[in-house]
Amino acid sequence: MHKDVSEILFTEEQIHDRVAEIGAAITEDFREKAGDDGIILISVLRGAAIFMADLAREIKIPCEMDYMAISSYGNGVKSSGVVRILKDLSSHIEGRHVVIAEDILDSGLTLTYLLKNLASRNPASLTVATLLRKKTKVQADVDCAYVGFECPDQFIVGYGLDYAERYRNLPYIGVLKPEVYE
């Protein structure tokens, strides 16, 4: 797998340190307003599961975890813009403080859909924590309260991000060589 990566953008140590910083910020921001109920941390499967697991360990207030599975890519490498919910939440979020743990904000189409869907369920608040925000020419206007890293508009893998379900288990985030996916 490592031979398919042209460069490492963010090392395992850099990711760990930044996730710890985001977890501390979420703890501070929600300590009082979420009270004893804490927050609900939601991850979109599968890419953000690793980020959410590490983030949850860094949050020092009560934190419930839930997952959704959403598809917008089909078999391609670009978002189709058509979003389908494959697995919905198990938790009720009405009146609760919700933090979405997102792996990467690329076009923003999927996240925009998700935010509208979750907002219709009347949470007390809805906040986005994304590990990566890709610098793209066209991106939906999505407010991310917490951003781990800005990254180039390249095909990246590792730390949950995949190509054809491979490379998710790389401990770093790197650029996939174009010959792998072209």
Q: Tokens 């979020």 label which residue?
A: 93
User: Per the residue annotation, which of 29, 54, 103, 106 is the catalytic one?
Assistant: 106
106 classed as catalytic:
yes
Nearest residue to 118 (alpha-carbon basis) of 139, 89, 140 = 89
CA angle centred on 83, ends 79 and 88, rounded to 5°: 130
User: Which amino acid, residue 142?
Assistant: V
Q: Hey, what are 115's tokens? A: 């935010």
Q: Hey, what are 43's tokens? A: 């991850």
Nearest residue to 131 (alpha-carbon basis) of 161, 155, 153 = 161
What does each C-alpha distance from 168 to 2, 38, 61, 103, 164 come to in angstroms?
12, 29, 28, 11, 10
| Separation between Cα atoms, residue 172 and residue 14, nearest integer Å | 9
Q: Which helix (H) or strand (E) holds 97?
A: strand 97-105
Residues with a catalytic annotation lie at: 106
